[in-house]
Amino acid sequence: MASTEAKSDQDRLAVAPHAKRMRTEAGDHEQLLAQGAEGRVVVTELLGRRVVCKYRFPKAYRHAELDARLNAKRLSQEVRLMLRARQLGIRTPLIYHVDARAHAIYMELLDAAHGWMPVKALLVLFERDALALKSQQRDADQRVGDDSETRSDVDEIGTQLGSLAAVLHAGGIIHGDLTTSNVMVRRRDPTRASGGQSAGQDFEFAMIDFGLSHVCTKQGDEERAVDLYVLERAIESAHNKLAARLGRALMEAYASAWPREDAQRGARVLRRLEDVRMRGRKRDMIG
């Protein structure tokens, strides 16, 4: 499995000449993290440090002119908006180097070895745990009680996602691809986070994948609402069992995390979200 995988990777690298160069520079250290939608994300080495390199290779299916335009635009958007998000206090990977010609960004590795994973992966674990818990309880012939552990974790994830979105939106940024694959999370070190930690501080988050991000227009309610709609549906389709619970926590947190002077704004976006959802439901008119 691993070897055929590696071989076909090698083949596909033929479309990204810079990647070959990287491979020789980095020797055998390069390791594929994800074949995302547009780009490939690999762990490689830069100045003796393990880093992530995300590069977009030309898409054979896309008209060359369109493809070049999109790749260049998304690279610069990604870099600019990652910095802007940081200025809002949202954690994103640090950017070390940008190779515009190769459409490549070298950035900080949010290392799995240090507990980082996409929120999506964590939620999948929760779903599995919840199932296991239920069947355990059934086996023990107990009443399904308050499986509080998993449940409060799910609530916290929802709440934190909601406030992240609110901070981003209040700062004028539309993420453009808000999904649970594009937010990274790790559990805080329990030895350090003991005792004094208040509830809602068990996890830390980082946002990634700003390729479709942009600064929103002055009005911007519609854009923000669509951003939330994308997130909501990503959750519904990928984490069906937790969706209701996550969604509730998320929307509540979103409304309350807007800065005080803009408090109306959050509620307005949520009302707009209602409209966007309605359009969605009405859409299926003609087979």
Kindly list the catalytic residues. Answer: 177
* In the complex, minimum distance from the CB of residue 191 to other proteins, in angstroms, rounded to a whole number: 34
Beta-bridged to residue 55, according to DSSP, are 40, 104
* In the complex, minimum distance from the CB of residue 32 to ligand ATP, in angstroms, rounded to a whole number: 10
* In the complex, minimum distance from the CB of residue 48 to ligand ATP, in angstroms, rounded to a whole number: 18
Q: How far apart are CA 40 and CA 103, in angstroms?
A: 11
Between 103 and 265, CB nearer to ligand ATP: 103
Q: How many CB atoms lie within 10 A of CB 235?
A: 24
Q: How are strands ordered across the β-sheet holding 117-118?
A: 117-118, 183-187, 203-207
* Residue list 9-38, contact with other proteins (CB under 8 A): 12, 15, 34-38
Instruction: Specify whether the backbone of 34 is left (phi greater than 0), alpha (psi in -120 to 50) or beta.
Output: beta
Decide which of other proteins, Mg ion, ligand ATP, none touches 52; Cβ closer than 5 to 8 Å per partner kind: ligand ATP
Cβ atoms of 246 and 152 closer than 8 Å? no
Between 121 and 270, CB nearer to Mg ion: 121
Q: Binding other proteins by CB under 8 A: which of 234, 246, 249, 250? A: 234
Q: Does 71 bind other proteins (CB under 8 A)?
A: no
3-state secondary structure at position 33: strand
Q: Binding Mg ion by CB under 5 A: which of 78, 153, 209, 223? A: 209
Closest C-alpha to 267, from 278, 248, 253, 281: 253
The tokens describing 207, both together, are 């946002």
For binding to other proteins (CB under 8 A), which residues are involved?
A: 8, 12, 15, 34-38, 59-63, 65-67, 69-70, 176-179, 181, 212, 226-227, 229-231, 233-234, 236-238, 240, 276, 279-287
- Chain residues that interact with Mg ion, rule: CB under 5 A: 181-182, 209
